[in-house]
């Protein structure tokens, strides 16, 4: 029952929020407390070995809408809850209209439903609700840049969801079911059938638009950089992860190893190149989100249990340190009136110490310094990458991440007498603590046998070597600008690239 109560409670709170107005924050606090109790009950049930699916409509498995409270769903639900609490803290003293909190609760409730659903059409409805709430949140500030970024997001995601819906139609026509477990059985019986390849390509291409895959999620840099900090944190930490969860579910149905490996390599390398290229702090964070999604796709495509668990572990770690970075970067940009790194470095004495510390913790997390979150997750992921080529690509992405974030390090030195307001500092503490203590927290997500590499010296040597190499490359490239095409991120080119991406996925499925 917890699987249904979690999203329904948030939807109810969203309605009460817009009706009451002044009690918006109080309702959100009550919802967070009840969510914590429901998640604790679900965790206890899983610990006792109970994870039977809950099927709506009193239909049997394969016919009704299935929700499954498995370990993966619980992990991502806990991430959504934690980021929701941190965002609520960060916005506590900000003058936000009630409809912001209505959209906030709709987004959190949709995410809770998404992580537990095992039905394709239900996933489509939830993703559409996420698109609508995210679209309105990106444009919340009503500035011209925000409105245009939100419209671009809506149009490109609508195209992606149209592809996803076509994939659902193809799968249902040939199998008569939308239940993922039942569909996996049907696909396994005829894995090379033409309809399987078409359905898989449509479904993957559609959800890839929501997942931060470089060829598909070309709305991401503008939406992340234009939105207010709290919304950017939710987009990167929650919305993107819901697409990742659905890609993981689809990987249990279709033969997607080659597809994910190719998309992961492209996403990781191109994301890193654009992150190195930009000197706008918020756009740098947005492009690094694309780069980090490359880790996840490579992990899903590696075909080993260690890599898949490592990828999911990294998805949670990324949600934590990227939310921290977006909140801290947004606070710094608000104080200085710009997100241009060159100006921010010149004016860095005005940045409060709490913001500097939050930025430092987030940077150390994303570059993979032991024992922070990025290191802990990659130490689980990398032993599962048996092909040397994939391991080398992950190393290149890691080094490129160090190169891009080395530009941000000059913001850290110095002191400032000004202090952040306590709600923002509290949000930094919540997220920063999770980033620092992520290694022991991973024991709740990953079996201990897969955590062994995190305590062995080769992982530490590799992490320090990668960081030193990245810092060296940064010194060599300092003052040099890469020339990269920017037209990809316009809406016309973005639409064509998504369609071209679908053709690429279809061809890769044929080759698998």
- Three-class SS of 423-453: HHHHHHHHHHHHHHCHHHHHHHCCCHHHHHH
Average pLDDT, the chain: 90
* pLDDT > 90 fraction of the chain, expressed in percent and rounded: 63
Are residues 417 and 350 in contact, defined by beta-carbon separation less than 8 angstroms? no
At residue 333, the pLDDT reads 93
Is the model's pLDDT at 306 over the cut of 90?
Answer: no
Q: What is the mean pLDDT of the segment spanning 157-165?
A: 95
At residue 24, the pLDDT reads 85
Distance of alpha carbon 466 from alpha carbon 8, whole angstroms? 45
Confidence of residue 55 (pLDDT cuts 50, 70, 90): low
Convert the pLDDT of each residue in 371-418 to its tens digit.
999 999 999 998 888 777 888 999 999 999 999 999 999 999 877 766
Structural domain spans, the chain: 137-511
Confidence of residue 284 (pLDDT cuts 50, 70, 90): very high
Convert the pLDDT of each residue in 85-117 to its tens digit.
999 999 998 888 888 999 999 999 999 999 999
At residue 51, the pLDDT reads 64
Are residues 88 and 25 in contact, defined by beta-carbon separation less than 8 angstroms? yes
Bond into 443 cis (ω within 30): no
Burial of 90 (0-12, 13-18, 19+ CB in 10 A): buried
Please report, for residues 403, 406, 475, the alpha-carbon distance to residue 478 in angstroms, rounded to integers and kept in the order given. Answer: 10, 10, 5
Is the model's pLDDT at 199 over the cut of 90?
Answer: yes
Strands 54-56 and 65-67, sheet pairing: antiparallel
Convert the pLDDT of each residue in 434-449 to its tens digit.
999 998 888 877 888 7
Convert the pLDDT of each residue in 202-240 to its tens digit.
999 999 999 989 889 989 999 998 999 999 999 999 999
Cα angle 428-429-432, degrees, rounded to a multiple of 5: 80
Mutual orientation of helices 194-208 and 240-251 as an angle, nearest 10°?
A: 160
Confidence of residue 423 (pLDDT cuts 50, 70, 90): confident
At residue 360, the pLDDT reads 95
Structure token digits, residue 23: 């009690």
Q: What is the mean pLDDT of the segment spanning 340-368?
A: 92
Please report, for residues 41, 164, 198, 201, the alpha-carbon distance to residue 171 in angstroms, rounded to integers and kept in the order given. Answer: 35, 11, 9, 11
Cα angle 416-433-337, degrees, rounded to a multiple of 5: 35
pTM beyond 0.75: yes
Give the closest residue to 317 by CA, choosing from 254, 394, 237, 263: 237
Terminus-to-terminus CA distance in the chain, angstroms? 40
């Amino acid at each position: 029952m917890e699987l249904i109560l979690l999203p329904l409670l948030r939807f109810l709170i969203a309605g009460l929020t817009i009706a009451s107005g002044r009690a918006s924050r109080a309702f959100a606090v009550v919802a967070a407390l009840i969510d914590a109790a429901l998640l604790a009950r679900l965790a206890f049930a899983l610990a006792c070995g109970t994870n039977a699916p809950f099927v709506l409509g009193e239909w049997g498995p394969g016919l009704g809408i299935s929700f499954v409270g498995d370990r993966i769903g619980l992990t991502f639900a806990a991430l959504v809850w934690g980021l929701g609490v941190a965002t609520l803290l960060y916005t506590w003293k900000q003058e936000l209209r009630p409809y912001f909190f209505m959209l906030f609760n709709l987004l959190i409730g949709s995410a809770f439903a998404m992580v537990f659903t095992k039905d394709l059409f239900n996933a489509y409805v939830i993703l559409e609700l996420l698109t609508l709430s995210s679209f309105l949140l990106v444009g919340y500030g009503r500035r011209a840049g925000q409105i245009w970024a939100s419209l671009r997001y809506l149009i490109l995601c609508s195209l992606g969801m149209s592809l996803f819906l076509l994939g659902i139609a193809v799968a249902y026509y040939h199998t008569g079911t939308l239940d993922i477990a039942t569909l996996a059985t049907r696909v396994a019986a005829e894995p090379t059938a033409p309809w399987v390849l078409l359905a898989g390509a449509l479904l993957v291409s559609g959800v890839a638009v929501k997942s931060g895959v470089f060829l598909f999620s070309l709305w991401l840099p503008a939406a992340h950089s234009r939105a207010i900090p709290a919304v950017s944190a939710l987009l990167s930490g929650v919305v993107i992860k819901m697409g990742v969860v659905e890609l993981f579910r689809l990987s249990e149905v279709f033969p997607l190893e080659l597809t994910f490996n190719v998309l992961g390599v492209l996403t990781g390398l191109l994301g890193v190149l654009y992150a190195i290229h930009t000197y706008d702090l918020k756009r740098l964070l947005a492009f690094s989100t694309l780069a980090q999604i490359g880790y996840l796709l490579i992990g899903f495509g590696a075909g080993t249990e260690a890599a898949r668990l490592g990828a999911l572990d990294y998805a949670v770690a990324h949600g934590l340190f990227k939310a921290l970075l977006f909140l801290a970067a947004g606070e710094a940009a608000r104080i200085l009136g710009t997100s241009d790194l060159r100006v921010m470095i010149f004016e860095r004495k005005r940045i409060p110490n709490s913001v500097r510390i939050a930025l430092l913790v987030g940077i150390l997390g994303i570059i993979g310094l032991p024992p922070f979150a990025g290191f802990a997750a990659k130490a689980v992921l990398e032993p599962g990458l048996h092909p040397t080529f994939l391991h080398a690509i992950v190393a290149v992405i890691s080094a490129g991440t160090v190169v891009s974030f080395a530009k941000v390090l000059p913001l850290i030195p110095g002191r400032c007498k000004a202090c952040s307001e306590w709600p923002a500092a509290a949000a930094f503490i919540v997220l920063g603590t999770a980033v620092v203590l992520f290694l022991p927290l991973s024991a709740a997500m990953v079996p201990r046998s897969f955590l062994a590499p995190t305590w062995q010296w080769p992982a530490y040597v590799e992490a320090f070597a990668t960081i030193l190499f990245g810092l060296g490359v940064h010194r060599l490239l300092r003052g040099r600008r890469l020339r990269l095409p920017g037209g990809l991120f316009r809406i016309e080119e973005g639409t064509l690239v998504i369609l071209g991406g679908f053709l690429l996925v279809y061809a890769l499925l044929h080759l698998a």
